[in-house]
Amino acid sequence: MKKLLKYDFLDNYTSILLINVLVFFSIIGASFFSKLSFYENRFLGIFVVIFYIILFICLGLWFVVLVLAILNSINKKLFCPQGYLTFSLPLSIDTILIAKILINLFWIAISLVLFYLALYIGANINPNVQNIISSIYEYVFSNPLNAFLSHLSTLVSIALVLIEFLFILSLLNIGKIKKHRFIAGIFIFLGLEIIIGVCKSIIWGLLPNFYVDYLSQITLYPLVQFFTFNIGVNVIEFIIFYFLTRFLIKNKLELE
């Protein structure tokens, strides 16, 4: 697994690290020039606007780069003719699937760490600035437990989306759907979400006392209970989709 993780890391690290560096210095630059324009020269405010424009552009590019890296890591490296699944490699299906999920979670986690580090530095450069930077900084670091649970919940939710993406790609390749794959994938995803929502509603209907108790706990400890419950539900969904995807790839998938 180490070699597989290393290969995927080297394949995508340049673009991801570059866009993270741009976001990092855009946040610091916006904080620095906000302080100068507030205390010394109002005309320096133009630099604040420039850095904010660069920041929002970089955040958009950051999202695009991550999505493309995930698509390249999962679709191209697994299901294409030159993908891992078409070669007789000494790797188990579990090793390949787990490595793909871990490397993409790693990129998202490291991006969040650099983002919050920039927020921390920016807030210390200009603690009095009333803008989005200080607001996000105060929200994240005001309650460490809520911050930890919210980010853990986010990573688990992303892992669930990744395994759903693998499941959908497996279905598309098993069905040998080559035309309008993107549209077909969207419809499959929407269908899955509807089925999952219906199943959850049925479960809540069968467990009314548990649901009422859960709602009463939310009123007492809203964020902690919400994030904890959300993590638990997403983990269960992840396990189900993981084994479904594993079964499809191992027993049903035939790549050219």
pLDDT tens-place string over residues 15-69: 888 888 888 888 888 777 777 655 556 666 677 778 778 888 888 888 888 888 8
- pLDDT recorded at residue 220: 47
pLDDT in tens, 172-224: 878 777 777 778 888 888 888 888 888 877 766 666 555 555 555 555 455 66
Q: What is the largest CA-CA distance in the chain?
A: 69
pLDDT attached to residue 19: 87
Whole-number pLDDT of residue 14: 80
Q: Which pLDDT band holds residue 235 (cuts at 50, 70, 90)?
A: very high
- Asked if residue 87 has pLDDT above 90, the reply is no
The predicted-structure confidence for 140-156, as pLDDT tens digits, reads as follows: 566 777 778 888 888 89
| pLDDT above 90 (res 227) | no
The pLDDT of 103-108, averaged and rounded, is 86
pLDDT computed for residue 239 by the predictor: 93
The pLDDT of 133-139, averaged and rounded, is 60
What would the mean pLDDT of 76-80 be, rounded to a whole number? Answer: 65
Q: When comparing pLDDT for 95 and 44, which is higher?
A: 95
- Reading the block at residue 34, the tokens are 């906000």
Quote the CA–CA distance of 125 and 33 in Å, as a whole number. Answer: 10
- What integer best gives the mean pLDDT of the chain? 76
Residue 128 CA, chain-centre distance (Å), reads 31
pLDDT of 60 reads: 87
The DSSP H or E segment spanning 200 is: helix 181-206
Stretch 94-118: mean pLDDT:
85
Phi-psi region of 179 (alpha: psi -120 to 50; beta: other; left: phi over 0): beta
Name residue, tokens 């530095």.
Answer: 121
| Exposure b/e, 89-109, CB count within 10 A at least 16 = b | eeeeeeebbebbbbbbeebbe
Q: H or E segment at 163? A: helix 144-174
Cα dihedral 119, 125, 131, 134, rounded to 10, equals 50
Residue boundaries of the structural domains of the chain: 1-142, 143-255
Residue carrying structure tokens 């919940």 = 153
